[in-house]
Amino acid sequence: MIFADRRGWMKQDYLILMMMLVLSVIVSRGAWGDMIARAFNDSENGQALFAPLVAGYLFWLRRSRLQFIRYRPNLLGPALVAAGIGMAWWGAERDVMVVWHASAIIMVIGCVSSMTGIEVFRQFLPVILCLFFLIPTPGAIRIALAAPLQSFATGVTMSVLDFGNVLAVRDGNVILIGADLHPVAVGEACNGMRMVFALLLVVFGFVFSMLFRPGIRLMLLLCSPVIALTCNIFRLVLTSLAYSVVSPEVAESFHWAAGLAMLPLALVLLFGIVKLLRWLDVPTMSWRLAS
């Protein structure tokens, strides 16, 4: 329900919105503090460090849409804030961390929408969705997906090494490489889950930074686990080869550098998929008519 006519923003409107946001962060400071701590201290949730950057980039691309965001108080925002408070209480009581963390983001979104209505969702939905990448990966999901991903990556890596006549022995998710059988643990050296969520964020930013058709966006998002796994296998093969030809110290440095190359490699794969679709004459872009 809207209880004020749409109009331009005034100084007091910005002040009220800022006070609401500050109050929201204070109320949910425990969840925000935990998300920030996990982003910096837990490598499994490293995607949270890049989420604000991707959200800021998507917002910058859509900055011209700010002209459509007018001052329009409504009851949607307070309802979201109330829902966030309820989620915070329920998540803390039931020890469901993902709900507790999500409540902090819901409250911030509610504060903004209480002053703008649903128009902010229409114009900046990708930016809003990107904020949910701040939420740490639930342990149940991580455990359920990590084992099969690591096993598959190990198997494919061993096949590549065998094809190249590289001396290697598999022991579970550990590859013993070289004459001295130096161990390369897939779970520790190249964790598949760590790559899945980080590269999912990269794919998300990529598909919403261009005017792709909805079907193409959905397809690229669905391809993100495959892209992440491909990058992970590529990194693991190169790391294993490095351990077979250079000292462990040099190979460890190479492994670290290869990790930095995963994001550019993911972008190369995305551009390659888009170029392949265009070569197949599949329409990929959604052009807008000039007004």
Instruction: For residue 74, list its beta bridge partners.
Output: 2
Is 245 exposed, middle or buried (CB count within 10 Å of its CB: 0-12, 13-18, 19+)? exposed
Over 148-173, what HEC string results?
HHHHHHHHHHHHHHHHCCCCEEEECC
pLDDT of res. 36: 92
pLDDT of res. 154: 81
Question: 0.75 cut: is pTM over it?
Answer: yes
Both tokens assigned to 98: 């993902």
pLDDT of res. 290: 44
The series of mean pLDDT values per 10 residues for the chain, 291 residues long, is 63 92 94 92 81 94 91 91 96 92 96 92 94 86 73 82 80 74 61 68 92 91 85 82 76 76 87 92 72 41
Cα–Cα distance measured from residue 18 to residue 26, given in angstroms and rounded to the nearest whole number:
12
Cα–Cα distance measured from residue 175 to residue 158, given in angstroms and rounded to the nearest whole number:
8
How far from chain centre, in Å, is Cα 47? 5
pLDDT of res. 1: 47
Instruction: Give me the residue spans of the domains in the chain.
Output: 11-136, 140-279
pLDDT of res. 164: 79
Q: How do the residues of the chain divide into helix, strand and coil, expressed in percent and rounded to 5? A: 75, 5, 20
DSSP output for 122-139: HHHHHHHHHGGGGSPPPH
Cα–Cα distance measured from residue 187 to residue 241, given in angstroms and rounded to the nearest whole number:
17
pLDDT of res. 148: 77
pLDDT of res. 194: 62
Within 8 A by CB and 6+ apart from 244, the residues are 166, 167, 168, 177, 178, 182
DSSP code, position 190: S
